Every structure is written in C-alpha cells, then in structure tokens.
C-alpha cells in the first residue's frame, strides 16, 4: 500500500519503519522528529497524504489531532482510510471520524497498548473503533505493527477501550508497588513475594509481565533505572482522559480518580517526570507511613 504516516516520535517511528520493512511505500512527516530510514520525507502533513491508500497518525493529544485532520482530510483521495493511533479523548476521535466520513473517507480510532518496546518489536495491541470496511482495509497493517487488533465497535470505541484498559493498568501498578514496599517493611524477600503473588490471586500484568522491582521477573524498565517503556507522564495523561470520560458518561471511578491524584503528585510535585510509570515503587519505598 501507499501509506502516509504523520507523527514519527518514539512510537510512530518504529511503527512506520516496520511497515517500510514489510515492503509498503511510506511517506512520513513530523514537525520535529527525524524521518526513519526507508521512508520518503514529505514537506508538510498535506504532502504526506496525497495518493495514500491509508494515512496513519500518531499524535500527542486530541487538539493536535483535530488540527492535523483539518490539514490532511481535504488532501486525501476519496475512499482512503484515516487511521489514528494516538490516545485521545473519545469526542475528538468522533469529531475527526465525522469529518473524514463527510469527505468520503474511511476512519478508524486505533490506540495501542505495548509501549515503545511493542512498537519496535511489532507486538502492539490495537483497540479499534470505526466501520468494518475500514478495519478490513487496515488489518494487514495492524498485523505488521502488532500482535493483535480488536475491532471494538463504532467510532470512539477504540479510545473507550484504551481509556478503560489504562485506568486498570494505572491502579494495578500503584497497588503492586505498594505491596512491594510493604513487603520490604515486613521483612519479606521480594523474590519470594513475586513467586507467591505471580502464581496466586494477586496475579496481574503489572506484576507478572512488567514487575516494578529490579531483578525480579522478566526484564522491565525497573532493570534499566526506570527509563520509560511507558512514562509516568503518559499514564497521567491517560488517567486524565479516563476521569473526563467518566464525568461525561456519569460513571463513578473512585479508584481511577485516586490513581490520577497519585500520578499527578508523582509527576508534577516529585521526581516522576520522564521516568517509567513503575517508578512508583522507589517512591513508596522511601515514604514512611
């Protein structure tokens, strides 16, 4: 396929590179990041999408997504698909999808889970909202960039799934870190705790796949001085999206709200900015009750 790719930062660059390695013709644009090898560089977002069968965007927030959409939708060929892989609010995703549909385009909101490592290794999970026809068009590309793509429903459903998933992730990582800090103070060996919890009812992705304790379990950012696979800044952003969505929908999410408050304190008042979201563990270790 001919693919336009806009947003070539830590996530977008390896995703685009994997598509290029698979033989697709990729024209890329980013306002600041370098263009990866194997891509053709465009002078503007509008130039990147001309004649593209699929346009993929990976952008920081909903406001930027809507601004970019206004630039590229008029320059996309009728029948092409705009696939946004950013994590944004549901309303922004639906606004962009509506504009794309009015211009005769397919539209998908397809946020990802798996972090930078998943983007590099082509093992992302895509949570996708939009039409079945658009999903079928982009599915071969999801297969290259990831290990799984779930069609969650109509426009906005992908963002809804991502928000719910990451609210769970944020809360479970906090309590996992709390548990390790408590184990330390109780004199329980961390490895012994992992051996029990990872095979018992405390099992979770935060414990088993992304353990926040260095030297315990599979390799994780904890073993790299908490350099981000998924930053605390991004977790704070996603928990904010979950809070806003809950308020808009009239849902009660007290654990999500508390997780948001703790990450807000960690990032904005402590030393969490630029660190992995699992760096909550040393934070709790050095705190006294």
Which residues belong to the active site?
Answer: 162
Q: Is 115 left (phi over 0), alpha (psi -120 to 50) or beta?
A: left
d(CA 215, CA 190): 9
3-class SS of residue 191: helix
Residue with tokens 């944020």: 170
Q: How far is CA 150 from CA 121, 146, 204, 211, 219, in A?
A: 19, 11, 21, 26, 27
d(CA 59, CA 37): 20
- Give exposure, 223-256, as e/b (b: 16+ Cβ within 10 Å): eeebebbbbbbbbbbbbebbbebbeeeeeebeeb
Q: How many residues does the chain have?
A: 289
């Amino acid at each position: 396929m001919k693919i336009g790719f806009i947003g070539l930062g830590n996530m977008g660059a390896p995703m685009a590179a994997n598509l290029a390695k698979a033989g697709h013709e990729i024209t890329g644009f980013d306002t600041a990041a370098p263009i990866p090898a194997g891509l053709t560089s465009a002078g503007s977002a509008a130039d990147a999408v001309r004649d593209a069968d699929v346009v993929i965007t990976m952008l920081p927030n909903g406001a930027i997504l809507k601004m970019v959409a206004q630039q590229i939708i008029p320059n996309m060929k009728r029948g092409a698909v705009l696939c946004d892989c950013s994590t944004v609010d549901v309303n922004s995703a639906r606004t962009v999808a509506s504009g794309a549909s009015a211009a005769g385009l397919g539209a998908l909101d397809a946020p990802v889970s798996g972090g930078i490592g998943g983007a590099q290794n082509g093992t992302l999970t895509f949570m996708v909202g939009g039409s079945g026809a658009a999903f079928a068009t982009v599915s071969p590309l999801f297969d290259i960039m990831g290990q799984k793509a779930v069609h969650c429903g109509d426009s906005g459903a992908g963002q809804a799934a991502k928000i719910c998933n990451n609210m769970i992730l944020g809360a479970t990582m906090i309590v996992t870190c709390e548990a390790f800090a408590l184990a330390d103070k109780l004199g329980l060996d961390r490895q012994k705790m992992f051996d029990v919890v990872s095979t018992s009812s405390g099992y979770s992705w935060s414990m088993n796949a992304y353990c926040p304790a260095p030297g315990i379990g599979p390799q994780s950012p904890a073993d790299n001085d908490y350099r981000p696979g998924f930053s605390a800044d991004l977790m704070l952003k996603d928990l904010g999206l979950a809070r806003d969505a809950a308020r808009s929908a009239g849902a009660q999410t007290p654990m999500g709200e508390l997780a948001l408050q703790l990450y807000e304190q960690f990032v904005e008042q402590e030393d969490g900015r630029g660190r992995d979201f699992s760096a909550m563990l040393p934070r709790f270790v050095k705190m006294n009750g």
